[in-house]
Chains A and B, each alone.
Chain A
Amino acid sequence: MSITARTEAPVEQRPRHRSRATLATGFVILIGVLAVVCFFSITMGARGVGLSTIWKAFTDYDPSNASETVIRELRVPRTLIGIFAGAALGLSGAILQGVTRNPLADPGIMGINAGAATSIVFAIMVLGTQSTSTYVWFAFLGAGVATVTVYGIASFGREGATPVKLALAGAAVTAILSSITSAIVMTNVSALNELRFWQVGSLAGRYFPVFWQTLPFLVIGIVLALGTGRALNGLALGEDLALALGQRVRLTRVVMFVTVAILCGAATSACGPIVFVGLVVPHLARMICGPDYRWILSYSLLLTPVVVLVADIIGRVIISPGELQVGVVLGVIGAPAFILLVRYRNLAEL
Chain B
Amino acid sequence: MTSHDLRANNLTLGYADTDIVKGLDVQIPDGRITVIVGANACGKSTLLRGLARLLSPRGGEVILDGKSVQDMRSIDVAKVLGLLPQSPVAPDGISVGDLVGRGRYPHQGWFRRWSDEDDRAVAAALAATGTTDLEDRNIAELSGGQRQRVWVAMALAQDTDLLLLDEPTTFLDINHQVELLDLLTDLNRESGKTIVIVLHDLNLACRYADHIIAMKKGAILAEGAPKDVINAAVVTEVFGLACEVVPDPVSDTPMIVPRGRHHASPTVIETLA
Contact = CB atoms under 8 A, between A and B. Distances in A.
Interface of A: 6-7, 9-12
B118 to A, nearest CB: 28
B89 A9 contact: no
Nearest to A10: B15
B87 A9 contact: no
Interface of B is mostly: loop
A6 B89 contact: yes
A10 B89 CA distance: 17
A9 B20 CA distance: 12
Interface in B16-31: 16-18
Q: How large is the interface on B (under 10, 10 to 19, 20 to 34, 35 or more residues)?
A: under 10
Given A9-B16, A10-B16, A12-B17, 9 more contacts: A6-B89, A7-B86, A7-B87, A7-B89, A9-B15, A10-B15, A11-B16, A12-B16, A12-B18
Nearest to B15: A9
Contacts of A6: 89
A13 to B, nearest CB: 12
12 contacts: A6-B89, A7-B86, A7-B87, A7-B89, A9-B15, A9-B16, A10-B15, A10-B16, A11-B16, A12-B16, A12-B17, A12-B18
Contacts of A10: 15-16
Interface string B79-122: 00000001101000000000000000000000000000000000
Contacts of A9: 15-16
Contacts of B16: 9-12
Contacts of B17: 12
Identify which of B16, B18, B87, B89 gathers the most chain A CB atoms within 10 Å of its CB: B16
A216 B122 CA distance: 69
A10 B87 CA distance: 14
Nearest to A6: B89
A270 to B, nearest CB: 43
A11 B15 CA distance: 9
Nearest to A8: B15
Contacts of B86: 7
B166 to A, nearest CB: 12
A198 B247 CA distance: 80
A7 B89 CA distance: 9
Instruction: Give 9 nearest A-B pairs by CB, closest first.
Output: A9-B15, A7-B87, A12-B16, A10-B15, A9-B16, A6-B89, A12-B17, A12-B18, A7-B89
A4 to B, nearest CB: 10
Contacts of B15: 9-10
A30 to B, nearest CB: 32
Nearest to A9: B15
A234 to B, nearest CB: 28
Contacts of A12: 16-18
A10 B15 CA distance: 8
B151 to A, nearest CB: 15
Nearest to A7: B87
Nearest to B20: A10
Contacts of A11: 16
A7 B49 CA distance: 14
A154 to B, nearest CB: 21
Contacts of B87: 7
A137 B86 CA distance: 55
A11 B17 CA distance: 10
B40 to A, nearest CB: 12
A9 B86 CA distance: 13
A338 B3 CA distance: 53
Nearest to B86: A7
A6 B87 CA distance: 10
Interface in B39-94: 86-87, 89
A286 B240 CA distance: 37
Nearest to B18: A12
A11 to B, nearest CB: 8
Interface in B104-157: none
B43 to A, nearest CB: 12
Contacts of B18: 12
Most chain A CB atoms below 10 A, which of B15, B18, B86, B89:
B15
A12 B16 CA distance: 8
A12 B89 CA distance: 23
Interface in B203-248: none
Nearest to B87: A7
Nearest to B14: A9
B139 to A, nearest CB: 18
A158 B87 CA distance: 29
A12 B17 CA distance: 9
Nearest to A12: B16
A160 B101 CA distance: 39
A67 to B, nearest CB: 56
A14 to B, nearest CB: 12
